[in-house]
Amino acid sequence: MKTATTLYELAKRLNLSTATVSRALKNHPNIAPETKKRVLELARALDYEPNAYAVSLRTSSSKELGIIVPSLTGFFYDSFITAVERLCREEGYSLLIFVSGDSSEAELASLKVCKQRKVDGIFVSLSTNTADLAYFAKLNDQDIPVIFVDRVPKENIGYKICFEDERAAELSANYLMDKGRKKILSLFGDDHLSITRKRLKSYVRAFEVRGMQDNIHIQHALGVKESSEIVKDALSTGTRYDAIFCMTDEILIGAMKTLQVLKIKIPQDIGIMCMSNGFFPGLYHPEITYVETSGKKLGETALNHMFALLKKDKRENQVKLESILVEGGSV
Amino acid sequence: MKTATTLYELAKRLNLSTATVSRALKNHPNIAPETKKRVLELARALDYEPNAYAVSLRTSSSKELGIIVPSLTGFFYDSFITAVERLCREEGYSLLIFVSGDSSEAELASLKVCKQRKVDGIFVSLSTNTADLAYFAKLNDQDIPVIFVDRVPKENIGYKICFEDERAAELSANYLMDKGRKKILSLFGDDHLSITRKRLKSYVRAFEVRGMQDNIHIQHALGVKESSEIVKDALSTGTRYDAIFCMTDEILIGAMKTLQVLKIKIPQDIGIMCMSNGFFPGLYHPEITYVETSGKKLGETALNHMFALLKKDKRENQVKLESILVEGGSV
DNA sequence: CTGAAAGCGCTAACAC
DNA sequence: GTGTTAGCGCTTTCAG
A262 in the same domain as A184: yes
Pair B229, B279 in one domain:
yes
Look at residue A29 in the predicted model and tell me its pLDDT: 80
Say yes or no: A231 and A141 in one domain: no
Strand-pairing partners, residue A122, are A66, A146
Does pTM surpass 0.85? Answer: yes
Q: pLDDT digits over B289-305, tens only?
A: 999 999 999 999 999 99
Helix (H), strand (E), coil (C) string for chain B:
CCCCCCHHHHHHHHCCCHHHHHHHHCCCCCCCHHHHHHHHHHHHHCCCCCCHHHHHHHHCCCCEEEEEECCCCCCCHHHHHHHHHHHHHHCCCEEEEEECCCCHHHHHHHHHHHHHCCCCEEEECCCCCCCCCHHHHHHHHCCCCEEEECCCCCCCCCEEEEECHHHHHHHHHHHHHHCCCCCEEEEECCCCCHHHHHHHHHHHHHHHHCCCHHHEEEEECCCHHHHHHHHHHHHCCCCCCCEEEECCHHHHHHHHHHHHHCCCCCCCCCEEEEEECCCHHHHCCCCCEEEECCHHHHHHHHHHHHHHHHCCCCCCCEEEECCCEECCCCC
Counted domains in chain A:
3
Residues A101 and A182 in one domain: no
Q: Which of B63, B87, B94 to mutate to test the interface with A (most CBs of A within 10 A)?
A: B94
In-domain check, residue B192:
yes
Q: Does residue A1 register a pLDDT over 60? A: no
- Asked whether the predicted pLDDT for residue B16 surpasses 70, the reply is yes
Residue B32: nearest nucleotide (C-alpha to C1'): D1
The mean of the pLDDT values for chain A is 93
| Residue at B266 is within a domain | yes
Q: For A227-256, what is the mean pLDDT?
A: 96
Fill in the amino acid letter for A191. Answer: D
Q: With H, G, I as helix, E, B as strand and everything else as coil, classify residue A104.
A: helix
B316 burial level (CB within 10 Å; 0-12, 13-18, 19+): exposed
Evaluate whether residue B1 is within a structural domain. Answer: no
| Chain A contact present for B45, CB below 8 A | no
- Is A315 within a domain? yes
* Band (B2; pLDDT cuts 50, 70, 90): low
Name the closest nucleotide to B26, judged by C1' and CA: C11
Shared domain check, A249 and A283: yes
B147 and B176 assigned to the same domain: no
Q: Which of A8, A71, A79, A97 to probe the B interface (max B CBs under 10 A)?
A: A97
Half-sphere exposure of A151 (CA within 13 A, CB side): 22
> Torsions phi, psi of B166, nearest 5?
-60, -50
What distance in Å separates the CA atoms of residue A197 and residue B202, rounded to the nearest whole number?
A: 53
**Cβ within 7 Å of nucleic strand D, residues:** A 3-4, 6-8, 18-19, 22-23, 25-26, 50-51, 54-55, 57-59; B 15-20, 23, 29-32, 34-35, 54, 57-58, 60
Give the number of other Cβ atoms within 10 Å of residue B158's Cβ: 21
Are the beta carbons of A2 and B141 separated by less than 8 Å? yes
Cross-chain CB nearest to A74 (options B85, B142, B279): B279
A112 inside 8 A of chain B by CB: yes
Residues A44 and A13 occupy one common structural domain:
yes
Tens of pLDDT along A216-240? 999 999 999 999 999 999 999 989 9
Residues A219 and A263 in one domain: yes
What is the per-residue burial (b if ≥16 Cβ within 10 Å, else e) of A127-160?
A: bbebeebebbeebbeeebbbbbbbbbbeeebbbb
**pLDDT higher than 60, residue A272:** yes
What is the spatial distance between Cα A283 and Cα A126, in angstroms, rounded to a whole number? Answer: 28
The per-residue pLDDT for range B29-51, each reduced to its tens digit, is: 788 888 899 999 999 999 898 99
Residue A329 lies in a domain: no
d(CA A261, CA B162): 35
- Whether chain A has a CB inside 8 Å of the CB on B47: the answer is yes
> Does some domain include residue B203?
yes
Which of B54, B79, B82 is opposite residue A57, by nearest beta carbon? Answer: B54
- Whole-number pLDDT of residue A27: 79
Residues of B (311-330) whose Cβ lies below 8 Å from A = none
Decide if B285 contacts B254 (C-beta within 8 A). Answer: no
Q: Which nucleotide is nearest to A31 (CA to C1')?
A: C1
pLDDT above 70 for A2 = no
Nearby residues of A331 by Cβ (< 8 Å), 6 or more positions away = A175, A176, A179, A181, A243, A267, A271, A272, A273, A289
Query: What is the percentage of chain A residues whose pLDDT exceeds 90?
Result: 82
**CA dist., res. B113 & res. B117, Å (int):** 6
Side-chain-facing half-sphere of A283: CA atoms under 13 Å: 22
Are residues B98 and A116, on separate chains, in Cβ contact within 8 Å? no
Per-residue confidence at B129, pLDDT binned at 50, 70, 90? Answer: confident
The continuous run of DSSP H or E covering A291 comes out as strand A289-292
Helix B52-59 to helix A52-59 angle (10° resolution) is 140
Kindly identify which residue of chain B lies nearest to residue A145, measuring between CA atoms.
Answer: B1
Determine, for residues B115 and A4 on separate chains, whether the beta-carbon distance falls below 8 Å: yes
CB–CB contacts below 8 A, A to B: 142
Q: Which is higher by pLDDT, B59 or B271? A: B271
pLDDT digits (tens, 9 = 90+) for A71-122: 998 779 999 999 999 999 999 999 999 999 989 999 999 999 999 899 999 9
- Give the number of other CB atoms < 10 A from CB of residue B214: 10
> Is residue B76 a part of any domain in this protein?
yes
Residue B143 has pLDDT above 70, yes or no: yes
Count each helix (H run) and each strand (E run) in chain A, helices first. Answer: 12, 12
- Amino acid, res. A305: H
- Pair (A173, A290) in one structural domain: yes
Cα A123 from Cα A304, distance rounded (Å): 12
Give the CA-to-C1' distance from A158 to D11 in angstroms: 31
Per the CB < 8 Å rule, is B89 touching A98? yes
Determine the Cα–Cα distance for residues A232 and B163; give it in Å rounded to an integer. 37
Q: Which residue among B4, B106, B257 sits closest to A283, beta carbon to beta carbon?
A: B257
For C5, nearest residue by CA–C1' is A19
* pLDDT at position B34: 87
Q: Quick one: which H or E segment has residue A105? A: helix A104-116
Compute the distance between CA of residue A275 and CA of residue A267 in angstroms, rounded to an integer: 17
The residue whose CA lies nearest the C1' of nucleotide D2 is: B20
Mean pLDDT of A290-319: 93
Q: How far is the CA of B20 from the C1' of D2 (A)?
A: 6
Locate the chain A residue with the closest alpha carbon to B94: A96
Q: List the single residue in B73, B98, B142 with the smallest CB-CB distance to A4.
A: B142
Residue numbers of the domain that contains B26 = 7-50
Closest nt to A14 (CA→C1')? C2
pLDDT score at B167: 95
pLDDT category at A28 given cuts 50, 70, 90 is: confident
Which value, in Å, is the radius of gyration of the alpha carbons in chain A?
A: 26
The reply to whether A92 and A126 lie within a common domain is: yes
Residue B328 is assigned to a structural domain of this protein: no
Mean of the per-residue pLDDT values of chain B: 93
pLDDT tens column, B218-243: 999 999 999 999 999 999 998 999 99
Nucleotides of D under 7 A from a protein CB: 1-5, 7-13
B45 lies in the same domain as B107: no
Measured between beta carbons, which residues in chain B are less than 8 angstroms from residue A71? Answer: 82
- The answer, yes or no, to whether residue A146 has pLDDT greater than 80, is yes
Beta bridge partners of B62: none
Does the CB of A72 have a partner CB in chain B at under 8 Å? Answer: yes
% residues pLDDT > 70 (chain B):
99
CATH code at position B101: 3.40.50.2300
Q: Are residues B176 and B284 in the same domain?
A: yes
Distance in angstroms (rounded) separating the CA atoms of residues B142 and A81: 30
A113 CB near a chain B CB, below 8 Å? yes
The minimal CB distance from B78 to the residues A2, A72, A113 is found for A72
A270 against B192, higher pLDDT: A270
Interface of A with B in 133-172 (CB under 8 A): 138, 141-143
A235: left (phi over 0), alpha (psi -120 to 50) or beta: alpha
Query: Chain B 250-279, CB below 8 Å of chain A: which residues?
Result: 253, 256-257, 260-261, 279
Our measurement of CA A1 to C1' D1, in angstroms, reads 38
Q: How far is the CA of B99 from the C1' of C15 (A)?
A: 51
Residues B141-150, mean pLDDT to the nearest whole number = 91
> What is residue B33's predicted lDDT score, i.e. its pLDDT?
87
Strand B64-69 with A289-292, pairing: unpaired
The residues, any chain, with a CB within 8 Å of residue B109's CB and separated by 6 or more, are: A89
